[in-house]
């Protein structure tokens, strides 16, 4: 890190996370890893969904201007991300200048690492001649699918008619057209984001929160197409020992409830920090879980039920049937839940963090993707790694009951549990000394030190 005859040390890394739970977690985990390698960390973040600085005493935080908008659907997320990038561009210049003023006389910024959704730092970094690195918080598969969208569009395959939804996208096995990470309903608007986020030419490297043993051939393909080095350094939640960056309070009482359940018996249900459902779907989910007769731990995030505050809309009969069998929380300590011996399956929306967290604990999944990258991840879970069952179509109690029983009781589920355990062991090998992610982190640290 020492430069110019030991005069100036480029020892600070500026992180710019995307303002969503699934983007904040891995970015701050990366920050902890870099901090333990001797770097000082400054997090520059929009005030919307900002993590609590007091939970991260090792980092400095600089707020960007607040925006009045919020984002709860994919359409809104796209508008929100575009607006945020516009709003933050100029202010980021000022933030960087502020960081530089506060540095010791011999300290300097080594580089800026920004989330792929937050492309606004590029311009300021270029002006100030600071190196930039892009951070992809999603899978390599999603990254390749996003790249392929332009080609598919040029060939006239996008937008695609309803009749093609189930057709395979030849160059993207096992994806079907309906799994593509696009928003057919707001296509014009949608295109603005990938056209901007794909413009990463000035960044010197790309970091992936993924792991070689899961996405080896896809990572090789990306590296072949890419002019700059790529660093698959995940799963970051497993490598980092940093504090939790949860935006909502975790209800740890569910861990005591899990202590009372038998090994591998509980199905854990969560659709992450953004996805939502309507009251009818909530009720179908409730009955499906009850009728499966498996114990369940169910996260119902406040605000995630369209037209309701929380679970007050569940019919009394259902509430009575849930009784002792089910435990409902507003937000769970998910990583601890998945590591608990009582949990034997995860009904998930297949956000990339949830997918990695489940695989790392050897927990097979029921895949209920809602939008965007989740559909790609779900296909990989069910058709490539084969550690999950798909739950497609309308949410309906009979289907939920069937798929929960299949995963938790049937031989097919047991075989998936065995496969998931093997994947867990493979991931462990990638993380430990000499493993692919371990080596990748060392190469990344060396690169940043060389700036
Ligand atoms: N999470 C949590 N408690 C919950 C539900 C989710 O801590 O009750 C965490 C989960 O561990 C993961 C993140 O929230 O790290 C969700 O990210 P993901 O990429 O899975 O989905 P997103 O929320 O971005 O859709």
> Measured from the CA of 275, which atom of ligand 1 is nearest?
25
Residue with tokens 């020992």: 241
Q: Is there a domain that residue 1 lies in?
A: no
Find the CATH number of the domain harbouring 436. 3.40.50.2000
User: Is 233 within 8 Å of 37 (Cβ atoms)?
Assistant: no
Which residues span the domain enclosing 308?
Answer: 253-428
- Considering the domain architecture, whether residues 324 and 357 belong to the same structural domain is answered as yes
Task: Judge if the beta carbon of residue 357 lies within 6 A of ligand 1.
Answer: yes
Give residue 7's pLDDT band: very low, low, confident or very high (50, 70, 90). low
Q: Is there a domain that residue 3 lies in?
A: no
- Considering the domain architecture, whether residues 348 and 307 belong to the same structural domain is answered as yes
Q: Is there a domain that residue 226 lies in?
A: yes
Task: Judge if the beta carbon of residue 304 lies within 6 A of ligand 1.
Answer: no
Q: List the beta bridge partners of residue 267.
A: 296, 345
- Considering the domain architecture, whether residues 289 and 408 belong to the same structural domain is answered as yes
The pairing of strands 2-3 and 8-16 is antiparallel
- Considering the domain architecture, whether residues 31 and 60 belong to the same structural domain is answered as yes
Is the ipTM here above 0.95?
A: yes
Q: Is there a domain that residue 2 lies in?
A: no
Q: Is there a domain that residue 28 lies in?
A: yes
- Considering the domain architecture, whether residues 446 and 411 belong to the same structural domain is answered as no
Q: pLDDT tens, 143-171?
A: 999 999 989 999 999 999 999 999 999 99
Q: pLDDT tens, 205-214?
A: 999 999 999 9
**Res 76: pLDDT:** 77
Distance 273 CA to ligand 1 centre (A): 6
- Considering the domain architecture, whether residues 417 and 323 belong to the same structural domain is answered as yes
- Considering the domain architecture, whether residues 194 and 314 belong to the same structural domain is answered as no
CA pseudo-torsion sign 141, 380, 374, 154 = positive
3-state secondary structure of 401: helix
Query: Domain total for the chain?
Result: 2
Q: Report the C-alpha gap between 83 and 312 in whole angstroms.
A: 35
Distance 250 CA to ligand 1 centre (A): 11
Pull the structure tokens for residue 94: 């000022």
| Nearest-CA residue for atom 17 of ligand 1 | 22
- Considering the domain architecture, whether residues 171 and 104 belong to the same structural domain is answered as yes
Q: Is there a domain that residue 83 lies in?
A: yes
Residue predicted with more confidence, 107 or 363: 363
Q: Is there a domain that residue 307 lies in?
A: yes
Flag whether pLDDT at 4 surpasses 70.
no
- Considering the domain architecture, whether residues 312 and 334 belong to the same structural domain is answered as yes
- Considering the domain architecture, whether residues 271 and 234 belong to the same structural domain is answered as no
* Cα→Cα distances 238→192, 215, 273, 357, 430, Å: 34, 17, 20, 8, 11
Q: Is there a domain that residue 358 lies in?
A: yes
- Considering the domain architecture, whether residues 413 and 442 belong to the same structural domain is answered as no
Q: pLDDT tens, 393-408?
A: 999 999 999 999 999 9
CA pseudo-torsion sign 395, 396, 402, 408 = positive
- Considering the domain architecture, whether residues 258 and 167 belong to the same structural domain is answered as no
Q: Report the C-alpha gap between 24 and 26 in whole angstroms.
A: 6
User: Is 80 within 8 Å of 70 (Cβ atoms)?
Assistant: yes
Task: Judge if the beta carbon of residue 215 lies within 6 A of ligand 1.
Answer: no
Mutational pocket test of ligand 1: of 254, 353, 388, the residue with most ligand atoms within 8 Å of the beta carbon: 353
Among 179-183, 288-292, 417-421, which is the least confidently predicted range?
A: 179-183
């Amino acid at each position: 890190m020492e430069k110019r005859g030991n005069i100036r040390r480029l020892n600070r890394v500026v992180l710019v996370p995307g303002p969503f739970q699934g983007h904040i977690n891995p970015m701050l985990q990366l920050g902890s890893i870099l901090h333990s390698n001797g770097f000082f960390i400054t997090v520059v973040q929009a005030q919307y969904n900002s993590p609590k600085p007091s939970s991260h005493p090792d980092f400095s935080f600089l707020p960007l201007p607040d925006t009045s908008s919020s984002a709860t659907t994919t359409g809104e997320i796209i508008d929100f991300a575009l607006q945020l990038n516009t709003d933050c561009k100029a202010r980021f210049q000022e933030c960087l200048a502020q960081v530089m003023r506060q540095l010791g006389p011999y300290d300097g910024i080594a580089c800026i690492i920004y989330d792929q959704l937050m492309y606004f730092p590029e311009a300021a970094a270029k002006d100030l001649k600071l190196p930039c690195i892009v951070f992809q918080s999603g899978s390599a598969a999603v990254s390749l699918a996003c790249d392929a969208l332009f080609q598919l569009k040029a060939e006239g395959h996008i937008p695609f008619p309803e009749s093609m939804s189930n057709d395979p996208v030849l160059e993207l096995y096992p994806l079907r057209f309906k799994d593509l990470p696009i928003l057919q309903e707001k296509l014009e608007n949608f295109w603005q984001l990938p056209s901007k986020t794909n413009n990463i030419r000035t960044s010197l490297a790309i970091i992936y929160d993924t792991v070689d043993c899961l996405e080896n051939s896809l990572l090789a393909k990306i590296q072949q197409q890419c002019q700059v080095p790529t660093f698959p350094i995940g799963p970051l939640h497993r490598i980092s020992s940093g504090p939790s960056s949860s935006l909502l309070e975790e209800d740890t009482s569910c861990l005591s409830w899990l202590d009372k359940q038998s090994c591998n018996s509980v199905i854990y249900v969560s659709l992450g920090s953004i996805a939502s459902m309507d009251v009818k779907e909530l009720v179908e989910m409730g009955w499906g879980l009850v009728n499966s007769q498996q114990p369940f731990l169910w996260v119902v995030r406040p605000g995630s039920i369209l037209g309701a505050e929380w679970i007050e809309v569940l019919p009394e009969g259902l509430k009575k049937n849930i009784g002792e069998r089910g435990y409902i929380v507003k937000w769970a300590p998910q990583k601890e839940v998945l590591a608990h011996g009582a949990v034997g399956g995860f009904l998930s929306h297949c956000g990339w963090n949830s997918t990695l967290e489940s695989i790392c604990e050897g927990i097979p999944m029921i895949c209920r993707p809602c939008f965007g990258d989740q559909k790609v991840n779900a296909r990989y879970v069910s058709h490539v790694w084969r550690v999950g069952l798909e739950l497609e179509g309308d949410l309906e109690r009979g289907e939920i009951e069937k798929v929960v029983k299949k995963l938790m009781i049937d031989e097919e589920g047991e075989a998936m549990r065995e496969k998931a355990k093997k994947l867990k062991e493979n991931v462990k090998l990638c993380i430990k000394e000499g493993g692919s992610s371990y080596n990748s982190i060392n190469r990344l640290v060396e690169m940043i030190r060389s700036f």
